[in-house]
């Protein structure tokens, strides 16, 4: 299903996201009747505008490697060994308070072009009013200052910590480990975004 474009009577063009564009895509740990291997985690937070205002009906899309560091995509040469119980892709919609949440696995690290990539989740944001999609990365590491990653190294040191998920035991549910990550679209503490 694609994205429908809607024109308002005022001439503003923006995306319209039908519910079946998102519903049922928040859990990456169940695929083709199988359950994903590895450490299952919850990743959630809020999508916020400048001044901490929540964004409603914003689409957050993620894609990532499985627990073994393999992408379920034909461009990954190890794709045939990808976890068959892990979809590798998900989509969620923010609620009225700007909250989103995914159930996924802690991604494995891997090497790419002779450089090491630390565990991470790629993120794309689609929202009414955005002039382009926003792309960023959520990194995982107990000590962000000690993490080495070719993409992370391109981000100014002063803002790198904004790209790390924060472990929050209060978010744990039924033995699944919880991580918090807010996506701040503009203003103070804005999330670093990448050109796609």
Predicted confidence at residue 104, as pLDDT, reads: 98
In the chain, the percentage of residues whose pLDDT exceeds 90 is 67
pLDDT of residue 8: 35
User: What is the enclosing helix (H) or strand (E) of 71?
Assistant: none
pLDDT, position 22: 58
In degrees and rounded to multiples of 5, residue 158 shows phi and psi of -65, -20
Q: In the predicted model, what is the mean pLDDT of the chain? A: 86
CA within 13 Å, CB half, 7: 3
Q: 136-172: string of b/e by CB count within 10 Å (b at 16+)?
A: bbbbbbeebeebebebbeebeeeebebbbbeeeeebe
3-class SS letters over 117-155: ECCEEEEEEECCCCCCCEEEEEECCCCHHHCCCCCHHHC
Given this model, what pLDDT does residue 147 score?
85
Q: Which fold has domain 19-184?
A: Protocatechuate 3,4-Dioxygenase, subunit A (2.60.130)
pLDDT of residue 23: 63
pLDDT of residue 128: 72
- For residue 74 the two structure tokens come to 């034909």
31, 38 Cβ separation under 8 angstroms:
no
pLDDT band at 196 (very low <50, low <70, confident <90, very high): low
> Does residue 159 carry a pLDDT above 70?
yes
Element (H, E) at 113: none
3-state DSSP assignment of residue 107: coil
What are the extents of the domains in the chain?
Answer: 19-184
Which tens digits make up the pLDDT trace of 96-141? 999 999 999 999 999 877 788 999 999 999 877 776 789 999 999 9
d(CA 121, CA 107): 7
Report the pLDDT averaged over residues 75-99: 94
pLDDT above 80 for 73: yes
């Amino acid at each position: 299903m694609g994205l429908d474009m809607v024109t308002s009577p005022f001439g503003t063009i923006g995306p319209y996201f039908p519910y079946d564009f998102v519903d049922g895509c928040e859990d990456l740990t169940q695929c083709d009747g199988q359950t994903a291997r590895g450490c299952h985690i919850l990743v959630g937070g809020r999508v916020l505008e400048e001044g901490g205002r929540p964004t409603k009906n914003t689409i957050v899309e993620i894609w990532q490697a499985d627990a073994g560091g393999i992408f379920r995509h034909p461009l990954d040469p190890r794709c045939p060994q990808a976890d068959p119980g892990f979809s590798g892709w998900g989509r969620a919609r923010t609620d009225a308070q700007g909250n989103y949440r995914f159930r996924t696995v802690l991604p494995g690290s891997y090497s790419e072009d002779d450089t090491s990539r630390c565990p991470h989740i790629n993120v794309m944001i689609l929202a009414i009013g955005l002039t382009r999609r926003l792309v960023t990365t959520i990194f995982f590491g107990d000590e962000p200052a000690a993490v080495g990653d070719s993409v992370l190294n391109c981000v100014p040191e002063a803002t790198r910590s904004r790209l790390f998920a924060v472990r929050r035991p209060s978010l744990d549910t039924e033995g699944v480990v919880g991580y918090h990550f807010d996506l701040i679209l503009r203003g103070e503490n804005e999330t670093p975004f990448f050109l796609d």
